[in-house]
Structure 1
Amino acid sequence: MIESVSRRTLAGSSGTYNVRATELAIDRGRLKSINVTVVFLDDTQHCFKLEKRALGQELLEAVFQHLELIEKDYFGLQFTENGLIPSATNSDILRWLNPKKSIKKQMRGGLFYFCVKFYVADPSKLQEEYTRYHLYLQLRKDILCGKLIVSPSTACLLASYTVQSELGDYHPDEHKPGYLSGMVLIPGQTEQLENQISELHKLHKGQSPADAEFNFLDHSKRLDMYGVELHKAKDSTDKELDIGITCNGLVVFQNNIRINTLSWVKIVKISFKRRHFFVQLRREMSENYDTVLGFNMMTYRSSKHLWKCCVEHHSFFRLNQPICPSNNRGFRRLFPAPFLLGSRFTYSGRTELQTVEESKTQPRPHRTFLRFKSRCNSKQSDSKNPKSIIKSTTSKVKSFEKEPRPAWGPSDDEGGFVLSTANPNSNCDLPGSSMSNYNDELSGSIYDIPAYDTESSLGGENNVVCIHMNADKQGRFGFNVKGGSDLGLPIVVSRVVPNTSAYRATPKLCEGDRVLMINGQEVSDMVYDDVVNLIRAARDLQNNSKLVLTVQQKGNDDDDISNEKEEEPLFQYIPESPLNGMSSDPLIQSILLLGDGLASGSLLTQFEQLYRHKPETSMDIARLPKNVHKNRYRDIAPYDNTRFIIQGQENDYINANYINMEIPGSGIINRYIATQGPLLTTIGDFWQMVWESRSTLIIMVTALVEKGRQKCAKYWPPVNEILEIPNNLTIKLVSEETDTSNIIVYRQLELTNLNINETRFVTQLQYSLWPDHGVPDDSNRLLNLVEAIRKERAGVVEPIVIHCSAGIGRTGVIILLETTLCLIEAGQPVYPLEIVRQMRDQRAMMVQTSNQYKFVCSCIHYAFTQGIVKPLPEYSTQ
């Protein structure tokens, strides 16, 4: 112990080091930061170090930066309230990270799970292959954990795309029996299911990983439970329910069966109070009260969580931009500051519209990233399969000099066009998702194309732009066209494949764009074949196969009105009177609902859920052995109770049904006989039906031959010649002429019954510029056709005979459109889905495809909003 120290000793140079204070400072620094672990969709983990008071948004940005994710608004971070690992049994305790709140207040054990928060209705909206890959991973996890329920056949098909993505093409030498036993692909995986997956895998030859994953998404989006976020609830009788949130609204399930669908269009307000969750619906004109549905949630927190999820989904999918209630005048007027009670939660991110628009404008360099293998129970030799996917511990995007394999196979020879199952001169809609035709889709989703030229001329008069693009190694640009002077139609882009040169150009080439010039050469007077040859010739040029298209963009057309996304107020703040400020006219209200349905896509959802064949309605007569050969298509037959019965011959069968459509309030009943296009062997039956029905008008909505296949036999003779058929009937074509638009062909025929020496005059209208399973290019042309039909049938009470090829698709569209125009003139509300239901009660599968239904609904909306058809004064109520 030092007893004394002189002043001189302390007066010189000295130094101190406070050991304890330094250690305390280090501890305080540690306490100012937190470590957060995030589990990604490929089951990898990463620890993020953030400031103690950091908000959720900072963690989200760190995660997106770590992943190098551009289209980030579809994703979020989840955590469990009790800190347990999430599973199918405790999914109700999952919560989404709130970007506006502190991370520390939301942490339950320090684990967060990166997930898809908003399931896009159509994965083709996603511009980045990397974004689609993460959606693919999420759906795989949803299937494996039982969240996304699929049938065994669909599960095998989806698994086969996974195998194609991870292992590449099937090779017998490399993929021996049992090669899938080490991969976890579907729940309840058995050897029998693995054999089915293997057989399907063999059919995917030539698909790149991007192609296989997109086909996986294309099939997944059609599943009933796709994108449905379920919340457990109970009804007033204490029965267990599940409330699902989707991009289109709310759905209610009981015992895994959907019992109710509530679209955003129908919902006026949502609210919660303690454990009770309420949905207020729009009041119908026939009702004098508000409909409020109440549900009992498990806890107060689960009720509030469901409400928040509804707010976020509605804001993301339905608004042009998020609305902050505190800055909204209407909100402040309804709820003054001293009286603002309850939750003030609002959605703070970007909407889907903002995300899609921004992704279109951002440059997207070609990038290749590492994919991950399925969990394996046994070792697989990667050395035998050099194409197998590399396992990595990071989710970041990696860049490689090697270009990915082109999606097209070596046998493709479509020139500069995308290989399609349809004729290039028709609408190239993707086929359905059924197991029977999935093999036809292999060429329908083309991605992962090498480098492209993004130089272009923006702007221009009348929205005319120049689009530059380079062909890939196979000489393809990634688009189809249709039209031509030989058809009396302009050259229009009918299909653009995502992630191709045409798709990535700036500005992007879009379906519906009108092609004016190709490499400086005008094409307005060219026939279709010449246009095709001109595009194919571009790949043989010595300028790196460059193609320059001068196009008039579709966005400037009036017909695009129906595709605009309509703005909608925040639904949780709408006043109690839902019809306040809205016209009380039922017709106007129905048109407003129709416009909302077109904008939200709910129309198609409801249409796809409608039965195609009326339950418990027989078709026994059509399936008798003596009648089977009279059907053009095996699966399209008339109902027994509404079929036309031929009286004048031994066999009374013909593939035709009576369809009667009543127009309420007018006393009008439009009568039709919907039938298939006659076969060579049924021409006599067809004319016998025309004679017995006393019909004087025939509507033909097909060409004789489409896509190289006969759609209808020619059942009339040349001009001034006579066709003799059984039962002593003769048909003479008196005249044949085309209208001023060169679209509708008018034929005047004489139908004579030699037995009684009686002659009748029959008019036939033929409209042939309408592709099978597709839609016309122009709403006005279809409206003009229906107007011509209505003019010809004026004063006629007998049914008109109408047919296409099968007598259900295009035939149904014409009947639906004429019925709705009559309803509008009578001042009656228009509900297209109900009209389709009435038609299908009389003939199965009327209005065959959702594409046709969407088009005819847009025609109805366009006809009313443009004043083409209006309520007539004689039907107005006094």
Structure 2
Amino acid sequence: MTSTECDQSVSEVVPRRWLTRLRFLEMIESVSRRALSGSSGSYHVRGAELARDRRLKTLSATVVFLDDTQHTFQLDVSAIEKSMSNTSYQYKRAKGQALLDLVFQHLELIEKDYFGLQYAENGQVSTCPNLDIMRWLDPSKLVKKQMRSKGGQFFFRVKFYVSDPSKLQEEYTRYQFYLQIRRDILQGKLQLPPSTACLIASYTVQSELGDYHPEEHGPGYLSRLQLIPGQTEEMERKISELHKLHKGQLPADAEFNFLDHAKRLDMYGVELHKARDSVNKEIQLGVTSIGLVIFQNNIRINVFSWSKIVKISFKRKQFFIQLRREQSENYDTLLGFNMQTYRSSKNLWKSCVEHHTFFRLHSPKLRPRRFPLALSSRFTYSGRTEFQTVEDGKHRARVERTFIRSPSKKLIHGILPVPMSDEKGKLLTPGRPPRTYDNKVQSLGPREPRQAWGEGNQSDDEGGFLSLRDEVTGTHTQGTGSAFSPMLGSRVLSYADDDTTLERNIYDIPDYSEPTSSPAPQALEEGLVTIRITPDEQGRFGFNVKGGLDLDMPILVSRVAPNTPADRCYPKLNEGDQVVYINGIDVNGMLHEHVVNLIRQSRDSGTGELTLTVRPNALYNALAGTEETLEEEPPYRYVPDVPHTAVGSDALAQSMLLLADGLASGALIAQYEQLYRKNPELSSLESKKSENQNKNRYRDISPYDVTRVILMGCSNGDYINANYVNMEIPGSGIINRYIATQGPLSTTIADFWQMVLEAGSTLVVMLTTLVERGRAKCHQYWPALKEILTLRNLTLLCTSETVEETFVFREFVLTDTNTGEERDITHMQYCAWPDHGVPSDWRQFTTFTERVRAARTGIVEPAVVHCSAGIGRTGVLVLMETALCLIEANQPVYPLDIVRSMRDQRAMMIQNASQYRFVCEAVHKAYTEGIVKPLPEFSR
């Protein structure tokens, strides 16, 4: 019987459904027999291939580096997939930290915490993306969710700009910073005056081309290098002249100087965010290491330091900062800014959190394990802080590595010559033979760097990096050696009258009673530190000292050469450190020569080890702005070789040439930053008394006791925050007398006018407006026109008020009601000075100064001058008027000497480098353009 016949027969007996079941059982039995017998088998090849591909799934991301090279990284997520079954879910598990680790490993970057990756929010793929739409890669979030362009393009950039390049231990890290700042300049993000631009560009030329050689660097040798925006032939000529001064600097030295000058720029390290203020004016909020900075039309108009901010928060498109309450205030100040979108508001808030944590805290705030139910952002900065990075660098051995530097982009002018390359493929400058040390990391070895300025241009007590024989003497050594620009220590200067302070997304600023800078290791009593230095094989320690009893200065470290024992030792010796003991011998009261001999004796001893006990300069920086600060920084002079007694047109002209050179090179500003802000020998005890503290507008601005104004007829005490400042004009018999004071508070108006009455003053100069950036800078201490202000024993009548563009002139009649005495008072107000910025028109300010000089003609009583704190803008006016008087008297003008004289009478006069630069430029222009000339009676 056939199978068909059998099926038909069975189907007639049993139902069809039973037949189906029988066939299924028959199939199972057949499969079991084949499995046991091993006579057959099958393998799904395609299925196995697909499974393998899923296990090896990678995520591609292209990173563009600072030298414009690119590299594509593959994020392998196979390790995650082994514990997961859903491969599409595993593909999304690669987080930002994994990509950052690959990038840092690719670069072999050690000090990696300063850097990050950016991407364009709109997915724009470009080598120069729009800065307004750039976002930082979040290490804790998935990379896939942060990719906005096909192929995932990211840009390697500096995220946290170090306040001082000397904190960077590795040369390769400094090189990456150099590339970033050079890019910022070329893209216009970092704006700088032409003189500074030429100086910084000259260091780029030195780094890339080496020493200037006339036979190799003929006319136009810079024309093919892209150095600064808007590059002209005149700029190239100035850059070439400055290039000649850098002879002997290795690429690393030139790049260090490049960074050292760049750090002083107003826009250095500023991350800008577009916003609008309370009156809907367009501004930019800049996040920096020191706090939040406000810019308007590219001019810095306000600074909110972290120490003055209590909270930062945002809600929708609004961003808020709460300021710390001043002693003179009985209310909290909350400032609000309108951002473009909610996303931009949150990005600004996150940037503030990151910068504050990185620069101000010892370690990040730990995120709680369990979050309460809340709608606010849970974002915290999870990376390492600058303190942790610097401390780690101190204990880590330095890595000596060789790398190729990226040349500047070439500007095309006609047909370029065929480029040459070395054996490694690196492009060489046409007509210039390759050198073994070009663009490679080198130790200083026998080529010791020296000062960039020519021989004989330094003061007697300030040495450069000297030869082996005279290395530590601090005196100038003649010779034909190389030159090296000074590596000046830096300080972040705080501002006394900074504007630096809703259940929303809030970030609380921690209490600053704890130290925020690195504590000095091996600290002894009174903050002293012991440092042991062993000389190198040439017998050099690598540092210079200056000062001594004969120079009326403490013994201070004036220079520390990079890559020398003094630079590599731990703790590290720093410029500005005060040397207290040498090998256990107290050097206070010693002559400079004796100190040098002590150091030489140590070098010539058996072991050669030198033991220094120093008071670290870093300790002063950490305490800057506190009332307990004792700044023992060295006086710094920038004067010609002729003695001070020299007079006449030659001395005046020479001083103006030196002034121009200092402005062009940046040396003038560097020297200003080394000058003490307070005279450590002068006390301010009266200001600290409990009954006087509320009379101070700012807690850290106190008058010296020896020069303070003492009120005689005031019923609530003799204290007012004011100092007498007298500026003598040599050779003329003129002494310009001032009272420098703070802007009156609502509670000190009567004291202010009592001071005017008792001092016999008839001129009051006001250099501020009443309110700036939402905060009161000065209380209105005068009545409206034709009205009378009645005080304790005084009345004040406003008889006239004239407004001239940015000036306001008023006339008052001050009456003593006890005696009936009346006095005419001239009130001059300058209204065009932005808070902490500088006037945009130097001519306008010079004109105002001339009006002040005209108003005080024939007056011997002091003129009362004030701004808000009575130190910044007030100091600028005093310096400007003093300099103009010196020019008329045919006397040389040394601005730093004038600042020193002012600060010996009132602390902190001229508050920051931008004010000092502005007034120096105004003085020089007033002289060169003939606005002020020597008077005939003083001319020869």
CA contact (8 A) 1:446 1:499 kept: no
Equivalent residue in structure 1 for 2:44, among 2, 14, 18? 18
Structure 1 residues 177-326: aligned runs within 5 Å? 177-324=219-366, 326=368
Distance 1:89 1:509, change over 3 A: closer
Distance 1:324 1:441, change over 3 A: farther
DSSP 3-state at the match of 1:367: coil
CA contact (8 A) 1:371 1:389 kept: no
1:552 and 2:623 are equivalent in the alignment: no
Aligned to 2:389: 355
Q: Give deviations 1:454-481, integer Å, cap 9, x for gaps.
A: xxxx9698667462333475x6432122
In 2, the alpha carbon distance for the partners of 1:442 and 1:255 equals 37
Flag structure 2 segments of 5+ consecutive residues without an equivalent.
Answer: 1-29, 78-90, 421-427, 476-481, 490-520, 634-646, 660-706, 738-865, 881-894, 910-940
State the AA in 2 paired with 1:36: A
Q: Give deviations 1:37-87, integer Å, cap 9, x for gaps.
A: 111111111222212412212222222222222221111111111221368
State the AA in 2 paired with 1:470: P
Distance 1:487 1:230, change over 3 A: closer
1:48 and 2:73 are equivalent in the alignment: yes
State the AA in 1 paired with 2:179: L
DSSP 3-state at the match of 1:269: strand
In 2, the alpha carbon distance for the partners of 1:126 and 1:488 equals 34
Distance 1:841 1:185, change over 3 A: closer
Structure 2 length as normaliser, TM-score?
0.55
Distance 1:366 1:533, change over 3 A: farther
Flag structure 1 segments of 5+ consecutive residues without an equivalent.
Answer: 393-397, 429-439, 448-457, 566-592, 605-624, 637-658, 694-829, 860-878
CA contact (8 A) 2:96 2:138 kept: yes
Structure 1 residues 337-736: aligned runs within 5 Å? 338-376=372-410, 377=412, 378=416, 379-381=418-420, 382=428, 384-387=431-434, 406-408=448-450, 419=464, 442-445=484-487, 465=530, 467-471=532-536, 476-484=540-548, 493-510=557-574, 511-512=576-577, 514=579, 516-517=581-582, 527-533=591-597, 535-536=599-600, 547-554=608-615, 562-564=620-622, 594-595=625-626, 661=709, 665-667=716-718, 672=724, 674-676=726-728, 685=733
Structure 1 residues 737-752: aligned runs within 5 Å? none
CA contact (8 A) 2:96 2:139 kept: yes
State the AA in 1 paired with 2:105: Q
CA drift at 1:426: 11
State the AA in 1 paired with 2:65: F
DSSP 3-state at the match of 1:531: helix
Q: Give deviations 1:113-146, integer Å, cap 9, x for gaps.
A: 1111111222222222221111111001001111
DSSP 3-state at the match of 2:253: helix
Aligned to 1:36: 61
RMSD: 5.0
Aligned to 1:825: none
Distance 1:119 1:460, change over 3 A: closer
State the AA in 1 paired with 2:69: T
State the AA in 1 paired with 2:545: V
CA contact (8 A) 2:120 2:129 kept: no
Equivalent residue in structure 1 for 2:98, among 58, 66, 74? 58
Worse-matched range after superposition: 369-378 or 478-487: 478-487
Aligned to 1:834: 870
Distance 1:847 1:835, change over 3 A: farther
Distance 1:114 1:58, change over 3 A: same
Structure 1 length as normaliser, TM-score?
0.58
CA drift at 1:848: 5.6
State the AA in 2 paired with 1:375: K
Aligned length: 596
In 1, the alpha carbon distance for the partners of 2:227 and 2:274 equals 28
Equivalent residue in structure 2 for 1:126, among 162, 168, 177? 168
State the AA in 2 paired with 1:279: I
Structure 1 residues 716-795: aligned runs within 5 Å? none
State the AA in 1 paired with 2:535: N
In 2, the alpha carbon distance for the partners of 1:409 and 1:560 equals 24
In 2, the alpha carbon distance for the partners of 1:489 and 1:420 equals 20
State the AA in 2 paired with 1:44: T
CA drift at 1:369: 2.6
Distance 1:595 1:409, change over 3 A: closer
In 2, the alpha carbon distance for the partners of 1:363 and 1:207 equals 25
In 2, the alpha carbon distance for the partners of 1:494 and 1:855 equals 26
| Identical columns (%) | 52
CA drift at 1:497: 3.7
CA contact (8 A) 1:73 1:350 kept: yes
Equivalent residue in structure 1 for 2:177, among 135, 151, 154? 135
In 2, the alpha carbon distance for the partners of 1:314 and 1:6 equals 72
In 1, the alpha carbon distance for the partners of 2:565 and 2:118 equals 37
State the AA in 2 paired with 1:254: Q
CA contact (8 A) 1:419 1:443 kept: no
CA drift at 1:548: 1.4
DSSP 3-state at the match of 1:551: strand
State the AA in 1 paired with 2:543: F
DSSP 3-state at the match of 1:552: strand
CA drift at 1:98: 0.9
CA drift at 1:561: 6.0
In 2, the alpha carbon distance for the partners of 1:632 and 1:44 equals 49
CA contact (8 A) 2:546 2:558 kept: yes
